[in-house]
Structure 1
Amino acid sequence: MTKSSKPAGNLWLAEELWKLDAIGFGDFTLGRTAVHSPIYVNLRRLISNPRALARCAKIIKEELEALMSMRNPHVQPFTLVAGVPFGGLHVATAFSLGVNTPMIYIHPPATDKADVIEGIYVRGQSCLIIDDLITGGGSILQTAATLSEAGLVVRDAVTLIDRQEGGRQALKNAGINLVAILTLEQIANYLMSAGHIQEDQYRRTVEYIAARG
């Protein structure tokens, strides 16, 4: 890909994150799962570009519609959207507005309202969980558990980026299907082909992904 050409498919998100200075390289420990990661992606910076955030919501809508229209649908119908605090809230809100579907959310862990569900819902409703990024899957699983305890049905979750560190399998083990717009490997490949990063940064990233996968 030449530097003047537009990124193909969903890779526009990788380019947008690069422009927002939302991708860093170094030595990062991100919670309990990502230890000594050579790459960090801060999707919260999307709130600084409303058009990009809206485009993320549109891409999620298109991905879900395609998966639901298949002969053997890969995503189940839903009547609620649940955003995972904090990064997932921004994406879920944009998506909720774009598709006119009611939204709920649970307060973050370690707060006095950790099990409180904000928003209107009824038992038996099907709920789609949305997060900005998945690593080991803990945040989504915790959200799903609280929703299930409240009588809601969770079959699918959507994330903008899958860091490929066990989250997809963890969700699968819990009976939850994951839809990811991009993987960390796709982002690294794009940044390298676009000339944004050096070969050693790329190599460390793909080696890290391979070791964690």
Structure 2
Amino acid sequence: MPLRATDPDPGTLWLARSLWDSGAVQFGTFNIGTTIASPIYINARRLISNPRTLRRIGELLTDETRTLTGMLHPHLAPFELVAGVPLGGLHLATAFSLTADIPLIYPNPKAREHEAYEEIEGAYFPGQTVLLVDDLITGGRSVLESAETLRSAGLMVHDAIVLLDRQGGGQAALDQAGIKLHPLLTIESLLNYLVARELITQAQYARALTYISRVSGGG
């Protein structure tokens, strides 16, 4: 049965709606670090200003990780720590840590400039497994840099979970580094939701899908 405008949004469709309601989704022409200008920009950091939304995200991340680790053939490796990718993933990882009762650490980029800062903030032991958390992924550079910092300290990184995959090659880049990506949403599923709800026009939808196809190598 199709969703109606009055139905509550189940699961990650709630996240799609929250991104829209918070003003995180914008249409225009944006340079987001890819070779092709993007017709859509998503500022997921807008979500952190709403305590209820941030709490719900912590619950979503907890539910998703428990589902993935509880499968007969788990899609997510067991982990002992959660690490936020600075800066976009740090607040989300904090919400997840509080909800799931899992210790939090994070790579500190300021350590490169100031000796007073630890390269990794928080308590950990070499050999522990860390789950990376970020808000968005495009090409994967931020996640890979964080993984490299953690691995250099003797920690193991097998998985990363993000709110949204912009489908800009990040999954392939993480695969090459031995990291499995777990997005709650893809940009395509977000667009499908928005156009089905008549929150965006068919022209905006088509332009964004064309962009996704080009940056993902589909055309």
- TM-score > 0.5, shorter chain as reference: yes
TM-superposed deviation, 1:56 = 1.1
1:6-54 alpha-carbon deviations (Å, 9 max, x no partner) = 22331111111111111000001112x3641111111101112111111
TM-superposed deviation, 1:64 = 1.1
| Aligned equivalents of 1:13, 1:96: Cα separation in 2 | 19
Q: Which residue of 2 aligns with 1:57?
A: 58
TM-superposed deviation, 1:109 = 6.9
Q: Which residue of 1 aligns with 2:67?
A: 66
Secondary structure in 2 aligned to 1:82? strand
The 5-angstrom pairing of residues 85-124 of structure 1 reads 85-108=86-109, 112-113=113-114, 116-124=119-127
Cα RMSD after superposing both structures: 1.6
Give the AA of the match of 1:191: L
Q: Given the superposition, is the C-alpha separation of residues 25 and 110 from structure 1 closer, same or farther in structure 2, using an over 3 Å criterion?
A: farther
| Aligned equivalents of 1:50, 1:60: Cα separation in 2 | 15
| Aligned equivalents of 2:60, 2:86: Cα separation in 1 | 21
Q: Please say if 1:144 is aligned against 2:144.
A: no
Q: Which residue of 2 aligns with 1:41?
A: 42
- Report if the CA contact (8 A) 1:160-1:182 is conserved: yes
Q: Given the superposition, is the C-alpha separation of residues 198 and 72 from structure 1 closer, same or farther in structure 2, using an over 3 Å criterion?
A: same
Which of 166, 169, 178 pairs up with 1:166? 169
Q: Given the superposition, is the C-alpha separation of residues 110 and 209 from structure 1 closer, same or farther in structure 2, using an over 3 Å criterion?
A: farther
Q: Which residue of 2 aligns with 1:84?
A: 85
Structure 2 residue runs without a partner (length 5+)? none
Secondary structure in 1 aligned to 2:159? strand
Mean Cα displacement is larger for which, 184-193 or 100-109? 100-109
Structure 1 residue runs without a partner (length 5+)? none
Give the AA of the match of 1:73: P
Which of 5, 8, 12 pairs up with 2:7? 5
Work out the percentage of aligned pairs sharing the same amino acid. Answer: 50
TM-superposed deviation, 1:197 = 0.7
- Report if the CA contact (8 A) 1:34-1:165 is conserved: no
Secondary structure in 1 aligned to 2:26? strand
Give the AA of the match of 1:172: D
| Aligned equivalents of 2:172, 2:29: Cα separation in 1 | 25
Runs of 4+ in 1 over 4 A off after TM superposition: none
Q: Given the superposition, is the C-alpha separation of residues 22 and 172 from structure 1 closer, same or farther in structure 2, using an over 3 Å criterion?
A: same
Secondary structure in 1 aligned to 2:124? coil
- Report if the CA contact (8 A) 1:131-1:158 is conserved: yes
Give the AA of the match of 2:28: G
Which of 152, 155, 159 pairs up with 2:158? 155
Secondary structure in 1 aligned to 2:62? helix
TM-score under structure 2 length normalisation: 0.92
| Aligned equivalents of 1:142, 1:187: Cα separation in 2 | 27
TM-superposed deviation, 1:188 = 0.5
TM-superposed deviation, 1:111 = 5.1
TM-superposed deviation, 1:3 = 2.1
TM-superposed deviation, 1:201 = 0.6
Matched residues, number? 212
| Aligned equivalents of 1:115, 1:170: Cα separation in 2 | 27
1:92-119 alpha-carbon deviations (Å, 9 max, x no partner) = 0000111111111112379515971111
